Structure 1
Amino acid sequence: MRILFGFLSGLVFGIGLVISGMSNPAKVLNFLDVFGAWDPSLAFVMGGATLVTFIGYRVILQREHPVLLTDFQLPTSTAIDKPLLVGAALFGIGWGIGGFCPGPAWTALPLMTPGTLAFLPAMLIGFLLGQPLKNVMTSATK
């Protein structure tokens, strides 16, 4: 049952990314180009997502446990530390250079554009390198 609901959630998310234009790197880059050909439309996508998430968390967290699990899997750390700031900066730089974040990059894969075909393998390599780099940064701060 979890696999089915995971699939349906991913399907709705992917369709939303395509309909909103977030799978189009040119649209994303125009959103980030505040002093040029700025396209504010993605702010409405982000605002809508934030509103739905805000309301959804308020409703769902009133339950004792999720429908398909025995407990909620929520983050335990609220620390704003060096690994978080460096990771956020690198994510933002990658998003700005490529015009993709991970979800939209996967939804654009069927288009087989050269940018997508270059971005996805680089992102996966970044995932593989990220954990060892995080471990180095964490051990260096101790």
Structure 2
Amino acid sequence: MRTVIGLASGLLFGAGLAVSGMLDPVRVRGFLDLFGVWDPTLAFVMGGAMIPMAIAWLVQRRMAAPVADADFHLPDTNPITPRLLGGSALFGIGWGLGGLCPGPALAAFAINPAAAAVFTAAMAVGFAIVWALDRPPVHA
């Protein structure tokens, strides 16, 4: 059941990205270009996403448990750390240069496989570097 819900959620997310035009890196870069020809489309997409998310938070508060799991797995509200700031900065730089982030990059394989492949390869290298740095030391 969890797999079906995850697959349906991913398909809905990808369809939303495609319909909204957020798979087009030029459109995303246009949103980030505040002093050039600014494209507000992404602001409307983000604003539109806030409405169902606000409803989801209200519904979640009234539920004892999620539909497909025993407990809710909500993120902690940890303080801002140097690691969070560094990761956010790297994400923003990659998003600004590539015009994609992880979700749209994977969905973009259906529309522009070459650009998606380059971005996804760079993203995978970044993931591997973080994974290697985060591994606990091996004691012999």
Seq. identity, %: 48
CA distance in 2, matches of 1:37, 1:133: 39
More displaced stretch, 126-135 vs 46-55: 126-135
CA offsets 1:36-69 (integer angstroms, 9 cap, x no match) = 1110111010011122212211112321110110
Aligned to 2:9: 9
For residue 75 of structure 2, what is the aligned residue in structure 1?
A: 75
The match for 2:119 is: 119
Q: Which moved more, 1:94-103 or 1:69-78?
A: 69-78
AA aligned opposite 2:74? L
Residue 50 of structure 2 is aligned to residue 46 of structure 1: no
State the distance in 1 between where 2:71 and 2:81 align: 27
1:83, 1:134 within 8 Å by CA — same for their partners in 2?
Answer: no
- Aligned amino acid, residue 121 of structure 2: P
Once superposed, what is the RMSD of the aligned Cα atoms?
Answer: 1.6
Number of residue equivalences: 136
Quick one: which amino acid aligns to residue 86 of structure 1? G
Q: Distance in 2 between matches of 1:55 and 1:111?
A: 31
Alignment of 1:85-100 (within 5 A): 85-100=85-100
**TM-score normalised by structure 1 residue count:** 0.89
- Tell me the equivalent position of 2:101: 101
Separation (CA, whole Å) in 2 of partners of 1:42 and 1:77:
26
Partner-residue secondary structure (3-state), 1:64: coil
Give me the whole-angstrom Cα distance separating, in 2, the residues matched to 1:78 and 1:33. 31
Give ranges in structure 1 of 5+ residues lacking alignment.
137-142
Question: 1:110 Cα shift?
Answer: 2.0
The one-letter code matched in structure 1 to 2:8 is L
Cα offset for 1:112?
3.8
